[in-house]
Structure 1
Amino acid sequence: MTLISYLLLLVFSSYLLGFPVASTDNQINNLNKLIKSRGSDSPPYADPWTEHDVSNLSPFHIIPQEGSQEADRIDRLPGQPEVDFDQYAGYVTVDPHAGRALFYYFAESPQNSSTKPLVLWLNGGPGCSSFGYGAMEELGPFRVNSDGKTLYRNDYAWNNAANILFLESPAGVGFSYSNTSSDYTTGDKRTAKDSYTFLLNWLERFPQYKTRCFFITGESYAGHYVPQLAALVLSENKKANQTIINLSGIAIGNAWIDDNTSIEGMYDYYWTHALNSDETNVGINKNCDYVSGNFSDTCYKYQSQGDGEYGRIDIYNIYAPLCDGSTQKPGSPGSVKDFDPCSDGYVSSYLNRAEVQEALHVRNTSWTHCGGVGWTDSPTTILPTINQLIGSGISVWIYSGDIDGRVPVTSSRYSVNRLKLPVETAWRPWYYNEEVGGYVVGYKGVVLTTVRGAGHTVPSYQPERALVMISSFLQGELPPPSTV
């Protein structure tokens, strides 16, 4: 039995065991469905991306964009507070023949936007919304109040440090769409190609950003999206008569990078955080071979046992409360420092309001956090692609909220260890407000950092620390040591 087989029931285990799940369409459930689909009848998944794969993704559709920037300007979102920055939203067509178009939301920085870098944010899934999650629940300038109608300001939004571009990708996710139904079966390669085509056209629409320092960031299955898009950008930058995108670095959070190390790290995390029994941990370690990825039926039994032992908790943040609709108080103001576990519902209500969709310049859509897209190609490891990026000299950061149980910090550490990089800066704590904000270690070519007290969606739970972390990344510095 292969590594993939162990997840045959994982996506359904919460229901079978009677545990509540906040939503059936979220980043982790979509990831579980993808892994579950990796069977003998599926296309081959084991081969990592190579430079040959990347170079075969062209050609790309470039469409004139005159006048589109001003047409995308948002005068005001319904229910938003007063702001001191410009924001834009709309569609960029990536394939005019298929009628495939991707939705974006762009928030410029309130201070010195003309000199600050451009940052692209991608959520994972695969097939989940960078707007609904990233912009509205994590690092964007607003959060949604419990009434589902009004917004409040996120004082620790990442557009304090950069101009932030959120992309809903691939088609079928959020507001992004295609007029060709077969486009809703897609995969890593088309997602990278469409995202790159989007960037080329978006930079034509916003030419003032063509020479700006550019960074790609994301979380969860964006551990695939981000490195793959970065590899494509670097490959295309080498070609004559092509737009040069000034890629400076990538940062991926709680990222699914390598199947073997991600699964091994998950079960080790369960045991070390008192979510699994000693007996289950011994059974997993004795019967599961994470080096070869070949699992026995006994291994699968113990892994399934481990999935059932952690009980009724939010595995995204093992210490967070669950959403309890009976305690909600519609109309009460939200707090960016106290993440509301029912936020998915607020965001969905808000983005499905007709006046909101009109303000965002989108067509009438039944918006959901994650789209029902089918996936056709996905390598089981992204480590070779990360090695290519290290060789290119761009900045590579892997960060991890340390109380996420699904793609935990142990998975990130095991993945980085597979790269066998020498340590240049020894493991140390970093600080914010004279408290430990996390820990950091600098390898040759990669920085690994944690954010203390953060779950899977790091900026949701620790917005201040997340802003310090990403600001350090953009400045090319490690997070700050103690000032005491």
Structure 2
Amino acid sequence: MEFQRIIFISFLFLLLGVDSSDFPMNDLITKLLGQPNVNFRQFAGYTDVDENVASQSLFYYFVEAEKDPMTQPLTIWLTGGPGCSSVGDGFRSVGPFIFTKDAHALQTKFFFLGTKNHKMLYDYNNGDDSTNNILLIFMQKWYAKYLVFKSKDLYLAGSSFAGHFVPNLANALLDDNKQFEQSKFNLKGLVLGNPMLLQKCKNLTFEANLTAFKTDAHNYSPQKLFDVFRAPCAENEQDLNLGKRVPKVSSEVDMCIPLRVEFYFNLSEVQKAFHGNRTNFIILNSTSFKYNEADKDLDMLLALQNLLQQSIPITIFSGDQDGIIPTMGTLQHLEKLAEELNIKLTKEETWSFNNKERGLKYEFGDLLKFLTVKGGNHHVTSSRPSQAFSIFKIFAINWMH
């Protein structure tokens, strides 16, 4: 099976036909702690988005395709929070590795999405506009490092609050193409998982959950919002420090993966292998990332409209057990989007994977598609990875071609 190249995780592999001078070899990762031998190459490092301010840097992790790397498209993966690390998603869901139960070693897995991720390392006030400007600068500088990829097909993907980051960045890249002849980002489409498109949907869901679970906000576990049926991981970092194995499997989902991600990335050997010498990694905690509260409530309708009007395909998928961003709220928002553009619902049917029904599929015209995922929580790529891979590979990439 051919895997797409990723930008947030990289592996050790021989890239035939490409001179090493085409890559920043100082960013080459020799081998990660506990990593098995693999036949692909990985890179990681910092890209300064403001050379006058040391804290304004993005950390990226790049994984090349395992087979025919120079023929595969490039995918950028952004995660939400806002303020969580996309690199973390590379080891909890969309990347080629999973952790051993004690979080001290890695194992390869069959399904993974190829993507590019980065970590925001600054801690002052930010909003949609400032974040988008930083992402655009990052893209320009990253392509300057990896010129060989500039002509490749580009997909932007992500989850949760990436419902803001990804459409905004897509529009910025298209605007840059119009202004500068040397840009020409070859954007081919967007893929969004459980995206935050309107904060009011999240607020209404929170109130509904308080009623459903017969509790109040003070006693309500925020973790329950991510998965309305499965109990969160009850272990902690101390358990891993003591060498304990901390799986908590519920309905085929390991709820302790986020704990092992955080633990692994804060091991000094891991940070050294990643060239992460500027700051401690904060993988899944967005509390220290000050984001403009008003921007969280922005409606992404206009951003999505602009992309569809420029013939950029958009595929959105949503886990039906997400307590933060409900599937019906997302569907209603997309129906509003289609109505604004006078696009008709052209197909409504179930979709299958491995001969089993996996959810519902809605197609609006030729460019907009929405799929629900049975048993998927807020992180479909983690709770239902094979279905997420199928959506990305079959319904998104192939459909867009």
TM above 0.5, yes or no, is yes
Alignment partner of 1:430 is 2:347: no
Residue 340 of structure 1 aligns to which amino acid in structure 2? D
Partner of 2:134: 194
Residue 373 of structure 1: aligned partner: 289
Contact conserved, 1:122 with 1:226, CA < 8 A, in 2?
yes
Is 1:457 aligned to 2:379, yes or no? yes
Q: Which has the higher contact order (CA 8 A, sep 6+)?
A: 1
1:176 corresponds in structure 2 to none
Displacement after TM superposition at 1:447 (Å)? 0.8
C-alpha displacement at 1:208, in angstroms?
A: 1.2
Partner of 1:209: 149
Determine if contact 2:226/2:322 at 8 Å carries over to the other structure.
yes
2:303 paired residue among 382, 385, 396: 385
2:227 matched residue in structure 1: 317
Match of 1:357 among 238, 255, 271: 271
210-219 or 319-328, which moves further after superposition? 319-328
Find the aligned partners of 1:437 and 1:455 in 2 and give their Cα distance: 13
For residue 440 of structure 1, the aligned residue among 361, 380, 399 is 361
Q: Secondary structure at the match of 2:212?
A: coil
SS of residue paired to 1:198 = helix
User: Counterpart in 2 of 1:345?
Assistant: 259
Residue of structure 2 equivalent to 1:180: none
Give 3-state SS (helix, strand or coil) of 1:380's partner.
coil
Of 67-76 and 463-472, the range deviating more from structure 2: 67-76
1:409 and 2:327 aligned: yes
Residue in 2 that maps onto 1:286:
none
- My pick for the range that moved more, 416-425 or 436-445, is 416-425
Secondary structure of residue in 2 paired with 1:128: coil
Q: CA deviation at 1:312?
A: 9.3
Asked whether the 8 Å contact 2:205–2:323 carries over to 1, the reply is no
Residue number in structure 2 paired with 1:475:
397
Distance 1:215 1:337, change over 3 A: farther
* Count of matched residue pairs: 367
* Structure 2 match to 1:116: 72
**Which one of 40, 48, 51 corresponds to residue 96 of structure 1?**
51
Q: Which deviates further from its counterpart, 86-95 or 366-375?
A: 366-375
Structure 1 match to 2:38: 83
Change (3 A) 1:475 1:368: closer
Return 435-444 or 460-469, whichever deviates more.
435-444
Aligned residue number for residue 15 of structure 2: none
- Which structure 2 segments of 5+ residues have no match? 1-20
Q: Which runs of 5+ in 1 are unaligned?
A: 1-65, 173-182, 278-304, 479-484
SS in 2 for 1:315: helix
Considering only CA atoms, is the larger Rg found in Structure 1 or Structure 2? 1
> Aligned AA for 2:256?
C
Q: Distance in 1 between matches of 2:207 and 2:347?
A: 26
1:158 is paired with a residue of what secondary structure?
Answer: coil
Alpha-carbon separation, structure 1, partners of 2:373 and 2:322: 11
Matched letter for residue 365 of structure 1:
T
Which AA in structure 1 matches 2:212? L
Change (3 A) 1:475 1:344: closer
Q: CA deviation at 1:129?
A: 0.9
CA-atom RMSD, angstroms?
Answer: 2.8
State yes or no: 1:148 paired with 2:103: yes
Kindly tell me: are residues 332 and 152 of structure 1, through their superposed partners in 2, closer, same or farther at Cα, counting changes over 3 Å?
Answer: farther
Shift of 1:124: 0.7
Equivalent residue number for residue 160 of structure 2: 220
Return the alpha-carbon distance in structure 2 between the equivalents of residues 150 and 136 of structure 1: 12
| Deviation of the 1:334 alpha carbon | 9.9
Shift in alpha-carbon separation, 1:310–1:102, aligned structure 2, 3 A: closer
Aligned equivalents of 1:336 and 1:91: distance in 2? 37
CA shift digits 1:41-70 (9 cap, x unpaired): xxxxxxxxxxxxxxxxxxxxxxxxx88621
Deviation readout 1:408-446 (Å, 9 max, x if unpaired): 112211211221253343211111111012211101331
Separation in 1, partners of 2:143, 2:249: 35
Matches of 1:264 and 1:443, distance apart in 2: 26
Aligned-partner Cα distance in 1 for 2:223–2:289:
27
Corresponding residue for residue 313 of structure 2 = 395
